[in-house]
Every structure is written in C-alpha cells, then in structure tokens.
A and B are shown apart, each in its own frame.
Chain A
Amino acid sequence: MHAPRRLAPIALGTAALFLLAGCSGGNSANTDDAEQSGGSLVIDTAFSIETTDPGHTYDPTGNMVAKALYETLVDFEGSDVTTPVPGLASWEQNDDATEFTFTLEDGRTFSDGSEITADDVVFSLQRIQGMVEAKPNFLLTGLTVEKIDDSTVSITSETPLLQLPAILANPALGIVNADVVEENGGATDGSDSAQSYLDGESAGSGPFILDTLDLTSQVVLTKNPEYTGDEEPAYDRVVIRNVTESATQLINLQGGDTMVAMDLNGDQVEGLDDGFTVDSVPSGQTIFLLLNQSPDVAGELANVDLSEAVRYALDYDALLELAGAGATQATGVIPTGFEGALEEGVTQDLDRATAALEASGYDGQTLRLQFPNDYPVGGVEFTPLAERIQAQLAEIGLNVELAPAPFATELDAYVGGTEGFGLWFWGPDYADSANFLPFAPGLKVGLRAGWDASANPEIADLAAAAASATDVDERTEDFTAFAEAMQESGPFVPLIVPGRNIATADSVTGAVYNSVWDVDIAEITPAG
C-alpha cells in the first residue's frame, strides 16, 4: 500500500516541473525580447522578392528592399507619387520634355565611403539598358544616358516623356557603386553577371546595407555607417520576414513578435484594438477575372458573351464584403483615382447575364476557375473570393469548378495564356494610367486572355490613341473611352481594388504606404 501513495506526489511533481519549465522559459524570453528590440525593427510581409540586385528587381518586396539599400536620382515624399522631388540629383528639362539634365548633390557617398559620381549614375542606368532580359529594362527603353561632367548627367528621350522623373524614382533604377559592381562581374554591354554578388552584399548609398538575403525566410539589413543622406535610420538592424499568410502576420503583430505587418486585410485591421496604428489607402491593384478568347484554350466558349454573362451575374457588393474595409469595387480596368477611370462600376443584372449566357452558346459545361491560392493581394485571399464567385455564378446556371494552385505554379499558366478562366490581379508599375493599357487586345495582359489585336481592332486603336496622346484633356478622354469599351466587350471582369493596409504597433511610427516601394523602411522610427 505504501508504494502507490508515495509515487503519486513524485509523478505530480515531475509533471508540474515540466509545465513550469515550459512556461517560465516563455516568460523570461519575452522580457528579453522587449529589452533587446530597441535596436531591431521587424517587418512581416508576404515575399515577392527575387533578388537584392536593383537592376533585376521588379516586385513589391524587392522594391522595398532596394529602396532601403540604394538611392535614386529622383525621390517621392511620403505616399505622394505624383510630385517627384530631388533625390541624389536635382534636374532641369526642356519644354518638349525630351532632354533632362541631372546635377548630383555634393558630398554623397556609397557605403564603402567612396563618392557618388556621374560615372556611377551612367554605369547603373546603362547596365540595366544592357541587360535586355532584366525586368526593369523596359523603364529605360528609348533613353540615352550621357555623362556631362563629374557631377552632371544628361538623359534624352526620343519622344516626349513627361513622366521620366517619376520613372527614375523607381528603386530598380537605384545607383550602384560602379567600381565595386564592375569588379564583381558588372558590365553595361549585356554580359553583366553581378547579380549573385549583389544578392550577398549591397553596393549602394542607401540608409541600410545588406546583411543576409534568404528568398524564402528573411532579409536582414543593417545600418549603413557611411550614410550621408537626410533619412538617418533609427534602427541598427531590420529583419524583413516572409510571412505568407495575412492571419499569421496579424498574430505576430498582436503577439508583439513583429512591429509592422504589410498584408492585413480590412477585416483584420478592423479587429485590431488599441495599441496599433493603421495606414489604409487604395492599393491601385485590380483583382479581375479573365475569360480566354482563344479557341485553342476555351473551345466554343471563346467569346465575349460569356464574359458579359459573368460580368452581370456577379453581386459586387457581396464580393467587396470579403475584401473588408478600404477596398472598393473596380469600375473598370483603370482603378479609381487614375486618369480616365470610370465613375460607376457594373451592377448585377441577372436578366442580362442569362441572355448573354444563352448567346455565348454555353451548354452546361463546367468551367475550371484557376487562381493562385497562396498570394493575398492587399490581404484579400483568393480562395474565399473564388468560392463566392462560384456560388454566384451557379445562380445563372454556370457551373464552375475551383482549381487553386500555388502562385509559382499557376503564374506560368496565366502568363502563358493557357488559362481558360482565371482569377488574377494587375497593378501599376508607376503612377500613370498608361499602366492599364496592357489589358488591350494584342498587348501583355490581353494576350494572357488569348486576345490578340485582330480580335477587336477598335479597342486596340483606342489603346493606341491613349498611349500617344499629348494633350492632357484629350488623353483623359481616350483613357475613358478605352475603359468603357473594355467593360462593354472585353474578356475581363474587373472585380475589386483592395485596400492596402500597413499596420504598425504603437511602439513605432512613420510606416507610410507608397505605391512604388510599399514602405520606406528608413522613415520608420521608434515612437515617442
């Protein structure tokens, strides 16, 4: 009888000990965090980054990191992307907007202490011009970059280019240290091989230098000790973590593990209690449906009647509900706020939808809706959205089967134009409505829907007219006409412009959304 009685307390004691060890361990570590985090800033975002070489970068995360590591000739202030301000250089331009002269600011240095000269600027831009395959290459097509003297550079354009300063503010056009990059394979003749070097170390003049880059988990930046600009960073170390799910970002933010969450949706932001600050702006991204017009892909359903059926079958308010606060209905392929955007979006009209469905020759087939399921845009998850679209289309008798796939897998099908029915998104590269012309037949996005120029020459002409307009009022009219025609007879169904919400803990301040580089990390400082 003795043994069992004595054993029980031993057992309980041991079990209690384990629980204590677990809990107290957690406690002590949490206090440690609080003490340590003075020097570190932690940012959670869903990675789109592919490299830290500015010459190859062209995605939101990559631009944000490039903005922290490199400086550009021209800058924007805060979230205003319509008024370029001097960055590394101030500029003058001729009346035709074809010749621009940039004068470098005195006394600016790279992270190795060497001075920034006109040679560095010319090398940086010509390097990108040389790399035909590089993503930001198209930003500089038709431009000639020349050195005038050690602190002056001229850039000339074949055609009038009013938006050139705005383009030069893109972090992809950051100025690199020519000597260092050339030593590591850099070249302007297209044979450049410096990317792998620049993925390991930075060679710029930005407020931060690159510590480590891991494309799947995190990017670590440290303060640039040689920084000479006016955005002196407040943190010694910045950790940008890849957190692909917005819900996890929310948890990390609420739990105090991270200070800035980049991809929260409207619902999640509304659920945040005191102790957090949110910067909400329309994102400029448009989530849309595409219906392929190529008979090879869509068979006999390759017609715009089906698009019309879908366009009028949807209940946009109900879809918008899923996107939460800050999101608006997409009124057309040009989002509200951009030149030529339509005032009113489509409203549900089931009769019209049913008629169009009949005209399309639809006969009970099941359409596969293909979409990326791991890439929330502005915090909007595609899977619930697709589920709701499926449910709404079922009401006019259109059968939809969901075919979710990882972004990386599905992207090829989308870009290759092999999706019959897809749910995707499109955002501007810089703040100009010309960024939405690719939806036209025969252009980039149009071709992804199997829509070549011959399919609708009228819309193709409208797009061409808008692209070459020089008079401001005329240009706006052209864009409006283009947007209207797309809503009338295009293969796209614009759905939602999600809000962009940057949520920060109250312990930091200064995280302001900018559509070109998301957030300027150097502007984030401890509160108070």
Chain B
Amino acid sequence: MSTDNRTDALASAGRRTRLRWPRAWRSPLGIVGAVIAIAWVIVAFTASWWVPFEPNAQVLPRLQEPGVDTLLGTDGTGRDIFSRLMTGATVTIPLALMLVVAAMVIGTVVGAVAGYFGRWVDETLMRITDLVMAFPTVILAMVIAASLGPSLFNAVIAAIVVSWPQYARVTRSLVLGLRGQNYVIAGRLLGRSPLTSLTVDILPNIVGPMLVLATLDIGAAILLLSGLSFLGLGAQPPTAEWGSMISWAIQNFDAWWLGVFPGLAILTVVAAFNFLGDALRDILDPTGEVAHENQADRAASATGAAA
C-alpha cells in the first residue's frame, strides 16, 4: 500500500480520536490472525520452558524424518527441528516487536517534532526521511548490516534504521492536522510550552494510529530479520533462527523438513500479523476502503446491479 494512502487514512482516524475496536472482531480474517498471532507470541515467551530438547543439543540421530519421537524431524547435526523452531520464535518475535517499537518511538518523535515546529526543522527532518526512503528497504538494511558486521544485534539496528521513516511521515501529517485544532491553540494561548503542548495535547491522539501502523509493520519486520539472517548477515550459528535454518536447509536439499517448517513458521506468523493489521486498517480507514465501498454501493444500486 502506498504510504500516502495510509497516512491520510490514519490521519483522519487520529482526528476522530475514538477507535472502534470491537468491529475488528466482526472480521473473520482478523480473528484468525489474532488467534494465530497470540499463539505465536505465547510460544515466543514460554518456549524455553517446554521444548522437548535443548535447541542446540546434538543428541538425536541425524536427518531423522518427522515422526513420533521428533515431531518435525532432526537436522544435519542431530538437533530437534521442533525445539529449534519454537526456540526460533523466542529469537525472532521479541526482536521483531522490539525493533518495531523502537522504530515507532524514533519515528513518532521525529515526525512530531517536524510537524509541530515546521519550517527548517521540518524541512531537515523530512529530507532525511526521504533519503532513507530513497532505497528499497532490504537493500539498505543489507548495506547497513554488512558495514556494521554480521550479527543479530546489527541486523536489528539495520532494520530499525530502515523502518522508522514511515512512522515519522504519518506522525508528521497527523501533527500538522492537530496543530491547527482549536484546543491545541487554546492550550498554547494558556501558556503551555511547546513541549507540554506536544506531549499533553497532541501525542495522546497519535498513539492509537501508531499502534495500528506498528501491527501492520510486525510482519514486515519479521520478514526483514529472517531475510538478513538468510543472507548470513543476521543470526550466527548455532543460534536457532528461522532464516538461517532455511539457509542451512539448502545443504540437505533432500531432507525437505529442514527448510519447509521454518518457512511455514515465518509464513504463519507474518500472515497472522498481516491479517490482524488488515482488519484493523479496514476499521480505522473511514475515508479509504469504507468510503469507497459505500460509494460503490450507491453506484451499484443506481445501475441496478446490486451485488
């Protein structure tokens, strides 16, 4: 989706100030997404207590097919894939959440400052934002991760660097809209400092849309992190990480279970967050989808071609 679209939609959502959360539960896709996402998050924070094997323990026969003893088989060094897969969640999901939160915080601060103060502050910050967005994300993240040196920590840093600008853009346009609102102006007239005005009058209205944007971004963050690990720029051996598990699966191509399951893990968790985010967007996007659909409704009934 174009960022601009999202910006406008969220900006107006922000102005409406009240989020209609319950509608999310009317979307079956949203429910499916929420259930899977919550399940994965629970795994991510509890897996280390209940996985059947230590993720790096090489105690099983090598390259065993999925079966009763080892649910998803074993890898080339006799490690249990199921345990590694679940442990992979404890690596990827918290890091993805953390990086999204970090990007959100940085982006929000930059965007709010730019939008509120305007003039050269705005000009400078937004040109930096444009610059980061002038690169396709994976390319820039790869370049940064490579120049920092391969490690999971550096991959997260690289991902944060490429992720914050979209939050800055959205926040800025929200702030631009809010800045002219009467209650904000009134607050300023009552003698509030710019900082107080920003934190007390404006920021609370931004939090909602930012959280939605973040939900939509978690999937992308997971894809980015596992992609960097696949390239060898993220997790280093023997860390159980989905992207690097896939990368190593190439070594034993005939043992299909090595690569298929980590891929499915990424797919399900990313799809879950995308479903959830998509449902949230529908609800919070009165000018976008919903408006279009109302218009189309009218159009359809006008021509007699009721759907």
Within 8 A of A (CB), among B226-260: 232, 236-238, 248, 250-254
> A373 vs B237: C-alpha distance in the bound complex, in angstroms?
10
- Within 8 Å by CB of B56, from A321, A381, A386, A391, lies A391
Counting CB contacts under 8 A, is A267 at the interface? yes
Within 8 A of B (CB), among A357-373: 373
A405's nearest neighbour on chain B, judged by CB, is B150
Counting CB contacts under 8 A, is A314 at the interface? no
Q: Count B interface residues, CB 8 Å.
A: 18
> A388 vs B238: C-alpha distance in the bound complex, in angstroms?
9
> A124 vs B243: C-alpha distance in the bound complex, in angstroms?
51
Taking the closest CB of chain A, its distance from the CB of B299, in whole angstroms, is 12
* B77 contacts A247, C-beta separation under 8 Å: no
* A404 contacts B236, C-beta separation under 8 Å: yes
Interface residues on A, range: 20 to 34
Q: Specify which chain B residues have a CB less than 8 angstroms from the CB of A386 in the assembled complex.
A: 237
* A250 contacts B238, C-beta separation under 8 Å: no
C-beta contact mask, A214-251 vs B, less than 8 Å → 1, else 0? Answer: 00000000000000000000000000000001111011
Q: Known: A3-B305, A402-B238, A404-B237. Is A384-B77 also a contact (CB below 8 A)? A: yes
Counting CB contacts under 8 A, is B35 at the interface? no
- Within 8 Å by CB of A383, from B56, B237, B253, B254, lies B237
- Within 8 Å by CB of A391, from B57, B236, B248, lies B57
* A383 contacts B305, C-beta separation under 8 Å: no
Q: Specify which chain A residues have a CB less than 8 angstroms from the CB of B254 in the assembled complex.
A: 250, 271
Q: Specify which chain A residues have a CB less than 8 angstroms from the CB of B57 in the assembled complex.
A: 391
Majority-rule SS of A interface residues = helix
C-beta contact mask, B294-307 vs A, less than 8 Å → 1, else 0? Answer: 00000000000100
A376's nearest neighbour on chain B, judged by CB, is B251
B63's nearest neighbour on chain A, judged by CB, is A267
* B305 contacts A387, C-beta separation under 8 Å: no
Within 8 A of B (CB), among A373-423: 373, 381, 383-384, 386-388, 390-391, 402, 404
Q: Specify which chain B residues have a CB less than 8 angstroms from the CB of A318 in the assembled complex.
A: 58
Q: Which residues of B contact A (CB under 8 A)?
A: 56-58, 62-63, 76-77, 232, 236-238, 248, 250-254, 305
With A381-B251, A388-B58 already in contact, 7 other A-B pairs whose C-beta atoms are closer than 8 Å: A1-B305, A247-B250, A250-B253, A267-B76, A383-B237, A384-B248, A402-B237
**28 cross-chain CB contacts under 8 A:** A3-B305, A245-B250, A247-B251, A248-B250, A250-B254, A251-B253, A267-B63, A267-B76, A267-B252, A271-B254, A318-B58, A321-B62, A322-B76, A373-B232, A383-B237, A383-B248, A384-B248, A384-B251, A386-B237, A387-B58, A387-B238, A388-B58, A391-B57, A391-B58, A402-B236, A402-B237, A402-B238, A404-B237
